[in-house]
C-alpha cells in the first residue's frame, strides 16, 4: 500500500472523519493561504504551520501551530524543553518523516516508526474543530479535529506535547489582560483569582483586520461568532443558530407585513422538469449554466433529468394557469419561504454569494397594471424597512436600467446597499413588475367582468439570507460582530463577576435580574460558567456582537447597581438596579438608531456627485459610488463599464474574475429620490442631454 493510502486507512480504522482538498503544491504557510479561499480551507484559524526542528542535542521535534502565529524560537525551545532548536536539515525529512520539503505535518508521525521525532501542538489549536494538514504530500490538505489529531498521534505511538504559550504573551489576544474592570475585587475576579478550575488560557481574538485583510476578517468574524460553519461542498455553508435566528427575525417581520398586504403562504416542490423550466426560454437563457440537475437515482440514470429550482416562476405559473379563470380569482398573492440553488462559479462568500441560499419569493397576479405597480413599491418599501429598521443598513431605492433589469420582466425595482470597507455596491433585494410576459408564456388567462379574455399583470419579489452578510460587513469591527439590537439573538448578556465565596449569592441575584429583564420582553442570557474568567467571557460575547453586557460584581450588588457596557463603542455606565428595565429598553433603541445613523453618515460621504467622465474613475478609486447625470442609453452604459475597467487595468491593476472583484463599474439603480436635473444638463459620458441621475459603483 502506498504511504498516503496507509494514512487514510489508519484514519478510517480509527473512525476519524476527514475531508481532503486538492490544490497546487504548497511549500509554505503563505502558499496555503493563497489557495485557502478557493479550496475552502476554512476556518482560517484551522490552517496550520508545521515546523520540523532539531535541538542542539540532536533531538527532533515537529511543532504545529496556527498559520498566522509568530514564533519566538527561544521561547519555543524552552517550551519544548530542548535548548537551541533550529530547523532540521532536509536529510532528516527524508530519513525520519519520509516526506518532501513543505509536506511536514503531524500525519508524518505514521512514518516515524523508530520514534525519533516528538510531536508538539500549540494549545491554542486544541479548540479547533477543523485543522488542515497535508496528508504526507503538499498538493492536498486534509481536515481533522484537534481532538482526533491527538487520538491519531496516540494511536501511532506519538502522544503529542501540548504547548501552552498563554502565560508568555501579554498580547491583545490575552483576554484576561484586556478588560478594564470596575472595582478592585471585580478586577481580581475577572482575572480568575480565587476561582477553581478557571480557564486560564486566552480566547483567540480576530487576527485579520477589517481595513487590511477584509476577506479573512469576514471569515473570522462569522466563524468566531458562531454564525457559520464550513461544509465540504464549495459554496455551501451551515447556518448555525446564531445567524439563523437573525433570519427568523427577518422572517417574522417580513412575513407579518406581507400578510397585511393580503399575501398568503404556500409551498411548491423544489424540482422542475426540463420541459417546464424551458417553457420560458428567454428568461432562462442567460441563467442556464447555473441550473443544477438531478440525473441519477442510485446508480441508474433518470430517464428525464429534473432541475433543482433556481427560482420558482416556471414551477408556480403552470399552477397559476389552472387556478386563475375569472376576475374573481384575482388578485392572487402567494409567497413561499424556501431554499434555491444556483451553481455559481464565482468565488463564494458565506451569505453573500452561495450555491444554495434561503429566501422568500413572492409571486402575485393582478387584474390591473396599477394594482401590480403599487404592490411592487409596497414590497420594495418593506425590503427597505428590513435593511434600515432591522439591520440598521441604509439602502437606496430605485429602478434598474434596462440592461440590469430581470430580462423576463417589465421593470425591476431594487434596494441597493454599499459596503464601505470594500467600496462595493451590493443588490439588497428586488421587486419586479413582470408585465404580461409570463402570463402569455404560461397561458394564464381570465375572463373579466364583461366576459372578455384578459392576461393578468404579474409581480415577483425576493429577499435572501444575503441580508445577514451585508449587515455583518457593515457593522462588525476588529473585535468581532456588532449586532443591531432588533435582530440580536441575545440583546443583553449578564455576567456575574464572582469573587471568592460570593458565587452563590451573586449568581442567584444575577438570575433574578435576568428573570425581570426576560419578563419585560428583553432577549437576555446569563453566563455563569465557572471554568472561564470574566475577561474571557467579555471577549467571547463581544465577538458574538451582543449589544449590551451587564457586569454584576459584589461591589455593584452592595451599591444596588450594575455596570452596563455597550458593544457599539465600549462605553460604560453604572445603572441603578431600580431603573434597569426602562434604561435597557431605551439603550437598545438608542443603539439601534446610532448604528443606522453611523452607517448613513458613511453612506453619504461615500456617494459622490460626478458631472463628467474625468471624475468618474477617481471617485470610484476614492472608494465611492458615483451619482451621475445620464442619458440612460444601453450603449453608453456599456461604454462606461468598459472604460472604467480599461482605465483601472491600464493603471496596472489586475482583475480577478474568480474572486468576482471587478474593476468595472455598473449602474446600481436609477434612484427614486432624484435630485434636480436642470434641463440641458449633459450626460457625464455621452454629453447628450441627461434623462436622469444614475447611481454607479463597483459591485459584488
Ligand atoms: C438563475 C438560474 C435560473 C435569477 C437565475 O428576482 C434562473 C434564474 O430567473 C432567474 N437567477 N433569476 C431571476 C429571478 C427573478 C425573481 N424570481 C422571484 C426574483 C425574485 C424572486
Establish whether residue 290 lines the binding site of ligand 1, counting it when its CB lies within 6 angstroms of any ligand atom: yes
Which mutation among 276, 311, 359, 441 tests ligand 1's pocket best, with the greatest number of atoms within 8 A of CB? Answer: 311
CA of 312 to the centre of ligand 1 (A): 8
- First and final C-alpha spacing in the chain: 47
Q: Which residues of the chain have pLDDT under 70?
A: 1, 169-203, 649-662
Q: Which DSSP letter does residue 542 get?
A: H
Q: How many CB atoms lie within 10 A of CB 370?
A: 10
Site of grid cell 411592487? 376
Same domain, yes or no, for 30 and 173? yes
Same domain, yes or no, for 33 and 120? yes
Using CA atoms, how far residue 618 sits from 606, 607, 649, 666, in Å, is 13, 13, 13, 15
Establish whether residue 460 lines the binding site of ligand 1, counting it when its CB lies within 6 angstroms of any ligand atom: yes
* 638-667 core/surface letters (b: 16 or more CB in 10 A; e: else): eebbebbbebbeeeeeeeeeeebbbbbbbb
Establish whether residue 310 lines the binding site of ligand 1, counting it when its CB lies within 6 angstroms of any ligand atom: yes
User: How would you classify the pairing of strands 140-144 and 117-122?
Assistant: unpaired
Q: Give 230: exposed, middle or buried? Use CB within 10 Å, 0-12, 13-18, 19+.
A: buried
CA of 333 to the centre of ligand 1 (A): 18
Same domain, yes or no, for 562 and 617? no
Distance of CA 173 to the CA centre of its chain: 23
Task: Write out the DSSP string of 646-669.
Answer: HHHHHTTPPPBTTTTB-S-EEEEE
CA of 340 to the centre of ligand 1 (A): 10
Same domain, yes or no, for 90 and 164? yes
Establish whether residue 361 lines the binding site of ligand 1, counting it when its CB lies within 6 angstroms of any ligand atom: yes
Of 587, 617, 650, the position where a domain reaches its end is 587
Same domain, yes or no, for 444 and 546? no
Each residue's pLDDT tens digit, 583-619? 999 999 999 999 999 999 999 999 999 999 999 999 9
Look at residue 286 in the predicted model and tell me its pLDDT: 83
Same domain, yes or no, for 364 and 246? yes
Look at residue 89 in the predicted model and tell me its pLDDT: 81
CA of 309 to the centre of ligand 1 (A): 9
Look at residue 166 in the predicted model and tell me its pLDDT: 83
CA of 310 to the centre of ligand 1 (A): 6
CA of 277 to the centre of ligand 1 (A): 12
Q: Which DSSP letter does residue 390 get?
A: I
Establish whether residue 611 lines the binding site of ligand 1, counting it when its CB lies within 6 angstroms of any ligand atom: no
Establish whether residue 461 lines the binding site of ligand 1, counting it when its CB lies within 6 angstroms of any ligand atom: yes
Distance (Å, rounded) from C-alpha 500 to C-alpha 523?
29
What are phi and psi for residue 263, nearest 5 degrees?
-85, 135
Cell numbers representing residue 211 in the block: 481595513
Distance (Å, rounded) from C-alpha 424 to C-alpha 147?
40
Establish whether residue 400 lines the binding site of ligand 1, counting it when its CB lies within 6 angstroms of any ligand atom: no
Same domain, yes or no, for 648 and 524? no
| pTM of the entire predicted model | 0.75
CA of 670 to the centre of ligand 1 (A): 21
- Which structural domain range is residue 527 located in? 492-587
Q: What is the CATH number of the domain that holds 617?
A: 3.30.110.30
Of 554, 587, 620, the position where a domain reaches its end is 587
Q: Give 115: exposed, middle or buried? Use CB within 10 Å, 0-12, 13-18, 19+.
A: exposed
CA of 300 to the centre of ligand 1 (A): 31
Q: Is residue 294 part of a domain?
A: no
Q: Is residue 184 part of a domain?
A: no
Q: Is residue 691 part of a domain?
A: yes
CA of 372 to the centre of ligand 1 (A): 19
The number of C-alpha atoms within 13 Å of 407 and in the hemisphere containing its C-beta is: 8
Q: Is residue 209 part of a domain?
A: no
Same domain, yes or no, for 529 and 635? no
Establish whether residue 430 lines the binding site of ligand 1, counting it when its CB lies within 6 angstroms of any ligand atom: yes
Using CA atoms, how far residue 91 sits from 95, 145, 230, 407, 434, in Å, is 6, 30, 38, 63, 70
Each residue's pLDDT tens digit, 65-87? 999 888 889 999 999 999 899 98
Q: Is residue 616 part of a domain?
A: yes
Atom of ligand 1 nearest to the CA of 361: 21
Q: Is residue 256 part of a domain?
A: yes
**Greatest pairwise CA separation for the chain in angstroms:** 101
CA-based radius of gyration for the chain: 29
CA of 353 to the centre of ligand 1 (A): 14
Establish whether residue 536 lines the binding site of ligand 1, counting it when its CB lies within 6 angstroms of any ligand atom: no
Helix (H) or strand (E) holding 399: strand 396-399
Q: What is the CATH number of the domain that holds 68?
A: 3.90.960.10
Same domain, yes or no, for 615 and 572? no
Same domain, yes or no, for 657 and 511? no
Q: Is residue 233 part of a domain?
A: no
Look at residue 655 in the predicted model and tell me its pLDDT: 52
Atom of ligand 1 nearest to the CA of 431: 20
Establish whether residue 406 lines the binding site of ligand 1, counting it when its CB lies within 6 angstroms of any ligand atom: yes
CA of 276 to the centre of ligand 1 (A): 15
Which mutation among 310, 335, 415 tests ligand 1's pocket best, with the greatest number of atoms within 8 A of CB? Answer: 310
Same domain, yes or no, for 375 and 247? yes
Look at residue 650 in the predicted model and tell me its pLDDT: 66
Same domain, yes or no, for 124 and 263? no
Q: Is residue 663 part of a domain?
A: yes
Number of domains in the chain: 4
Atom of ligand 1 nearest to the CA of 359: 21
Q: What is the CATH number of the domain that holds 383?
A: 3.30.930.10
Amino acid at each position: 500500500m502506498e504511504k498516503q493510502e496507509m494514512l487514510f486507512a489508519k484514519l478510517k480504522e480509527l473512525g476519524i472523519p476527514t475531508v481532503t482538498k486538492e490544490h497546487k503544491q504548497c511549500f509554505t504557510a503563505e502558499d496555503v493561504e493563497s489557495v485557502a479561499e478557493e479550496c475552502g480551507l476554512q476556518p482560517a484559524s484551522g490552517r496550520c504551520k508545521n515546523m520540523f526542528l532539531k535541538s542542539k542535542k540532536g533531538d527532533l521535534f515537529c511543532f504545529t501551530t496556527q498559520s498566522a502565529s509568530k514564533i519566538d524560537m527561544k521561547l519555543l525551545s524552552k517550551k519544548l524543553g530542548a535548548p537551541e532548536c533550529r530547523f532540521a536539515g532536509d536529510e532528516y525529512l527524508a530519513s525520519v518523516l519520509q516526506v518532501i520539503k513543505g509536506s511536514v505535518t503531524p500525519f508524518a508521525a505514521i512514518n516515524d516508526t523508530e520514534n525519533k521525532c516528538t510531536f508538539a501542538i500549540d494549545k491554542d489549536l486544541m479548540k479547533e474543530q477543523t485543522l488542515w494538514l497535508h496528508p504526507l504530500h503538499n498538493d492536498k490538505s486534509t481536515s481533522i479535529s484537534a481532538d482526533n489529531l491527538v487520538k491519531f498521534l496516540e494511536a501511532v505511538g506519538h502522544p503529542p506535547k501540548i504547548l501552552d504559550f498563554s502565560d508568555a504573551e501579554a498580547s491583545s489576544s490575552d483576554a484576561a489582560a484586556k478588560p478594564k474592570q470596575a472595582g478592585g475585587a471585580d478586577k481580581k475576579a475577572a482575572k480568575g483569582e480565587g476561582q477553581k478550575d478557571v480557564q486560564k488560557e486566552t480566547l483567540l481574538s480576530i487576527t485579520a483586520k477589517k481595513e487590511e485583510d477584509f476577506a479573512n476578517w469576514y471569515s473570522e468574524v462569522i466563524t468566531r461568532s458562531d454564525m457559520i460553519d464550513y461544509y465540504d461542498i464549495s459554496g455551501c455553508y451551515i447556518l448555525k443558530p446564531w445567524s439563523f435566528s437573525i433570519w427568523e427575525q427577518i422572517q417574522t417581520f417580513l412575513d407579518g407585513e406581507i400578510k397585511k398586504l393580503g399575501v398568503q403562504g404556500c409551498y411548491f416542490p423544489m424540482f422542475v422538469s426540463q420541459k417546464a423550466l424551458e417553457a420560458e426560454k428567454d428568461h432562462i437563457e442567460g441563467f442556464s449554466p447555473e441550473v443544477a440537475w438531478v440525473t441519477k437515482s442510485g446508480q441508474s440514470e433518470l430517464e428525464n433529468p429534473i432541475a433543482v429550482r433556481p427560482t420558482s416562476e416556471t414551477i408556480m405559473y403552470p399552477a397559476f394557469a389552472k387556478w386563475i379563470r375569472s376576475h374573481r380569482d384575482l388578485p392572487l398573492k402567494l409567497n413561499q419561504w424556501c431554499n434555491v440553488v444556483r451553481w455559481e462559479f464565482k468565488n463564494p462568500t458565506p451569505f453573500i454569494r452561495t450555491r444554495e441560499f434561503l429566501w422568500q419569493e413572492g409571486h402575485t397576479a393582478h387584474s390591473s397594471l396599477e394594482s401590480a405597480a403599487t404592490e411592487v413599491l409596497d414590497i420594495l418599501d418593506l425590503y427597505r424597512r428590513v435593511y434600515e429598521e432591522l439591520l440598521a443598513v441604509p439602502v437606496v431605492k430605485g429602478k434598474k436600467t434596462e440592461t440590469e433589469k430581470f430580462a423576463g420582466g417589465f421593470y425591476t425595482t431594487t434596494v441597493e446597499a454599499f459596503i464601505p470597507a470594500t467600496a462595493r455596491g451590493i443588490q439588497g433585494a428586488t421587486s419586479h413588475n413582470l408585465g404580461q410576459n409570463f402570463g402569455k408564456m404560461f397561458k394564464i388567462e381570465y375572463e373579466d367582468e364583461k366576459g372578455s379574455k384578459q392576461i393578468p399583470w404579474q409581480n415577483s419579489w425576493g429577499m435572501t439570507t444575503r441580508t445577514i452578510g451585508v449587515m455583518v460587513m457593515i457593522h462588525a469591527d476588529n473585535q468581532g460582530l456588532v449586532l443591531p439590537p432588533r435582530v440580536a439573538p441575545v440583546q443583553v448578556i449578564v455576567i456575574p463577576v464572582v469573587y471568592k465565596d460570593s458565587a452563590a449569592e451573586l449568581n442567584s441575584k444575577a438570575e433574578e435580574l435576568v428573570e425581570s429583564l426576560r419578563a419585560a420582553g428583553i432577549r437576555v442570557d446569563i453566563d455563569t460558567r465557572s471554568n472561564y474568567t470574566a475577561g474571557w467571557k467579555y471577549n467571547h460575547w463581544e465577538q458574538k456582537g451582543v449589544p449590551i453586557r451587564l457586569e454584576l460584581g459584589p461591589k455593584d450588588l452592595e451599591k444596588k447597581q450594575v455596570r452596563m457596557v455597550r458593544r457599539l463603542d465600549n462605553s460604560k455606565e453604572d445603572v441603578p438596579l431600580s431603573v434597569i428595565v426602562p434604561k435597557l429598553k431605551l439603550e437598545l433603541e438608542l443603539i439601534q438608531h446610532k448604528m443606522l445613523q453611523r452607517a448613513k453618515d458613511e453612506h453619504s460621504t461615500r456617494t459622490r456627485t460626478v458631472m463628467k467622465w474625468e471624475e468618474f474613475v477617481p471617485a470610484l478609486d476614492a472608494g465611492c459610488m458615483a451619482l451621475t447625470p445620464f442619458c440612460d442609453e444601453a450603449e453608453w452604459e456599456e461604454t462606461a463599464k468598459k472604460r472604467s475597467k480599461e482605465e483601472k487595468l491600464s493603471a496596472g491593476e489586475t482583475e480577478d474574475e474568480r474572486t468576482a472583484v471587478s474593476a468595472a463599474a455598473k449602474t446600481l439603480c436609477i434612484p427614486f429620490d432624484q435630485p434636480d436635473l436642470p434641463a440641458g444638463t449633459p450626460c457625464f459620458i455621452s454629453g447628450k442631454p441627461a434623462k436622469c441621475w444614475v447611481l454607479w459603483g463597483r459591485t459584488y
